[in-house]
Structure 1
């Protein structure tokens, strides 16, 4: 297998980063990496395996090195993202070449990815197997508190540093199947305007949360320890709600949360990773 056409773009190549940022919206119309790069969030953990033609990225497969959490253990693994090819160059196997180069860089380590529904048959060719994702929630009457939780802006470098500190030193979100130290992935969602507001429940606990259609959604919790969320939820709502949903497997934070069904919008594929039986949800703020 030849990867002579593949260029590895990392944090030390700003001009190539610009070419990568130009490529992304041509394949994923609503996705943008520019602000994330301006924030300095692209580190050595993220590498783009790109095919360039006339200085433009025409196909790509990116690799994010991650600390996965699997059955109470930290596991070094990788997550793929931004896999694709610009429309005018499709049908020539370019995405396959980029994928092969990206996977070769991962060696024998576990690899996961979230797929676009239009290419679900593409990833099994590389040894990936689908993994169902569940939705978790609980019926609960939550009324507004007199003291709303402050909103933190990740455009502020000190807030980003604070999130990284909580991610590095904090408690795992889930022990079943999740991620640790994923603050720079969460910051991408904020930079791209895809994240729910970041709220400060207490000094050592920040959450991505908001109310949508009368439901309180908790997408992620960055905290130094697990604690009872119930007394704090009123700080996250402006009007009463009757249900809470979790963007992760909530067995540590809410053991009696129930499975609401399958997450049809999350097409997860895994390679080289043995996972526990039973329902889980890989944290939405840790997906690339």
Structure 2
């Protein structure tokens, strides 16, 4: 069988981006890239390696260039996403072909990806190994404050620009195993209505957070400097809470947080990368 031709789709390839956006919901039913692309968030950090058939994407593996924070060191690495094949073309080895093309583009750099439990046997074929992630939380009782932190709308270009600035120049939410500069990953969640509200604690401290069933979920913190999170909790809630759960390793914000169990929402795989020892959780808003 002839090896299919791989097409690389970058941030200037507008026609190919459109067919990529048509491909995505065929493989991932609840996922869409159209609004994110319309916002202008597809930059040169995001590349898609695709197989085309009659002008449409039928298989793909995308890579996002990232500034990874591993044990307080910053590394340039990549994260895979949107890996798959449309139903009509499965069984032809196309997913293997696009995966290999994407890996070739990454060279020897660290690579990570998150997968669902149905495909955990696929990625070890390419040198990926599974790596355990934990959930972190703490008991904490609080009631709402009369003046809640305002909600910021990422549909506004100025807010997206502010998020880019905070993430490029500010403090990584965790130094254990995390990322910096992932504003355009976070905006993808907002564009798909997958994120909790983005709230402004101050001009230089923004937080993705929301309350469910008496628990405050803090998914990410974007700040230029570290600060004491506790006095701000009443501004992030609209009902009394008895617990806080974190979408990242909270050693900088809540050192007394406990490990609540294993994070099984998505399975982490790494290649050319060894996360630091001890419990950690790669930030949920930096996952593709």
Same fold (TM over 0.5): yes
Cα separation, 2, equivalents of 1:74 and 1:277: 17
In the alignment, which residue of structure 2 is the partner of 1:203? 203
Relative distance call for 1:196 and 1:41 in structure 2 (3 A) is same
Cα separation, 2, equivalents of 1:280 and 1:90: 35
In the alignment, which residue of structure 2 is the partner of 1:66? 66
Cα separation, 1, equivalents of 2:131 and 2:271: 10
In the alignment, which residue of structure 2 is the partner of 1:118? 118
| 1:261-272 map, 5 Å | 261-272=261-272
Q: Count the aligned residue pairs.
A: 287
Q: Does the CA-based 8 Å contact 1:3-1:101 persist in structure 2?
A: no
In the alignment, which residue of structure 2 is the partner of 1:46? 46
CA shift, 1:157, in A, is 0.1
CA shift, 1:226, in A, is 1.1
CA shift, 1:3, in A, is 6.5
Q: Does the CA-based 8 Å contact 2:4-2:51 persist in structure 1?
A: no
CA shift, 1:266, in A, is 2.0
CA shift, 1:96, in A, is 0.4
Cα separation, 2, equivalents of 1:214 and 1:26: 36
In the alignment, which residue of structure 2 is the partner of 1:276? 276
Q: Does the CA-based 8 Å contact 2:117-2:266 persist in structure 1?
A: no
Cα separation, 1, equivalents of 2:156 and 2:172: 25
Q: Does the CA-based 8 Å contact 2:77-2:109 persist in structure 1?
A: yes
| 1:209-248 map, 5 Å | 209-248=209-248
Q: Secondary structure at the match of 1:15?
A: helix
In the alignment, which residue of structure 1 is the partner of 2:285? 285
Q: Does the CA-based 8 Å contact 2:152-2:159 persist in structure 1?
A: yes
| 1:117-156 map, 5 Å | 117-156=117-156
Q: Does the CA-based 8 Å contact 2:205-2:222 persist in structure 1?
A: yes
Deviation per CA, 1:150-170: give whole Å up to 9, x if none. Answer: 000000000000000100110
TM-score of the two chains, using structure 2 as the length reference: 0.98
Cα separation, 2, equivalents of 1:71 and 1:3: 40
Q: Does the CA-based 8 Å contact 1:130-1:268 persist in structure 2?
A: yes
Q: Secondary structure at the match of 1:67?
A: strand
Cα separation, 2, equivalents of 1:30 and 1:184: 19
CA shift, 1:200, in A, is 0.2
Q: Secondary structure at the match of 1:162?
A: helix
Q: Does the CA-based 8 Å contact 1:249-1:282 persist in structure 2?
A: yes
CA shift, 1:116, in A, is 2.1
Q: Secondary structure at the match of 1:276?
A: coil
Deviation per CA, 1:134-179: give whole Å up to 9, x if none. Answer: 0000000011011100000000000000000100110111111000
Cα separation, 2, equivalents of 1:250 and 1:210: 17
CA shift, 1:4, in A, is 5.4
Cα separation, 1, equivalents of 2:214 and 2:131: 29
